[in-house]
Structure 1
Amino acid sequence: MQSAALDKLRQQVATLKQQAEQFDKAKLFSKNRYMQAQPSLFDRAVFSTKSMNLVDYVIEIEDEIASLPPSDHRHAYTYALERIASQVQAVFNVIKSTPIWVKENKSHYKPRAKQPIYKQAVQKIMQSSHELYDELKQNHEFERRLVLMIEERKLQMEKASPAQAQKLNQEILTTHARLGRCRKAISATEDKIQQVEKQHLR
């Protein structure tokens, strides 16, 4: 069952890669000074890649799928899959916005627009506060699961042999690192919510 689901995910990512290649070839950010000034298309909490090419992010997704933990490590496997799903959605959101960027490039010659065209485009790409609250809720759920995993391993260590204790300790350290990344993601999402709500209040 899991193998079939993984195969379907790989097919979806292969399609996403083709769409990302078409997006990059169209050079839709090339005339946009705001986008050209950005070091990265996505927040570091979502991708570790820093690039203005969508294909580079899809390659990171492929690497994440290739290095999925074994499915019998249920918590780690589920957490990794959920992260991949959020990455796929993030890339899809940019591709979905293609008409906005096409329109932005065509309208670039108009000097007296009431609001800079790039701002309109960026605002349309930005997640709504509703989506961000969903993301925050999901990140808090990841945090809760990771804390539980750490507590479970600590309890297991009390009855473990020295060899098992060493293995459990390594798992605790790894989970702590994931928890750190998750909490960074929570902070980043909270910052985004504040920015979006400030814009709505203007």
Structure 2
Amino acid sequence: MNTSELIHRLRVQLKQLEQEVLQHDSQLAKGQRKLLHDTERFNHGLFNQSGAQLAPCISQISNKITQLEKLLKGNISTSTVALSCEGIQDRFTALRRALNTTTLDVKSAEQQRVSRIANAKQRRQQSHADSGFSWIASGVMHNSHQLYDELNKHLNWVQTFEQKIADLQSKLENCHSADKIALQNEILLVHRRLGKCRQAISYIEDRIQAFERPYRSHNR
């Protein structure tokens, strides 16, 4: 086989594969493209490509064929030509394999996504349990709007407790000595509730910041 025939056959092979790749890319669903967006499907030595769409690989193989054509015009050894042809065929094989494994790669990416979500949820639940505020509804910890509602509820409780303490202090100043111990104990109890409520407010504010931090970073 002469050199021009070799290049011709490689380009015909590439043209056939290009049609398959274009059909593959056109049939990709939006969800598939999103799932495989950051997925590297090839060895770095073969293609510089990531994601579900495979069209970029066609131009890279074409460049390799052009390089081979230039080598053949020079005085190079047969072994160098064979090595270059082998590299091109390796790319053809890898690209065909990728065409046939997109569905499997999508399933794998989906499983990894589900696993990451489950692990993140488990970490949040554990953090919630370890915080000492497990009496706050667990579902609230996964919803920023509910967190704000919970924050407002606790802020209202603070006002209620502070008013309650003020009322009890007023009663204490004017009560009989026999009633003072009971009132002092009640004031102490409300103070404890107020302290716990303020701690919960700090905890909820931290959770709100944790929710909003990724959003703010994304929109910078």
Q: TM-score, normalised by structure 2?
A: 0.41
Q: TM-score, normalised by structure 1?
A: 0.44
For CA contacts below 8 A with separation 6 or more, give which structure has more relative contact order: 1
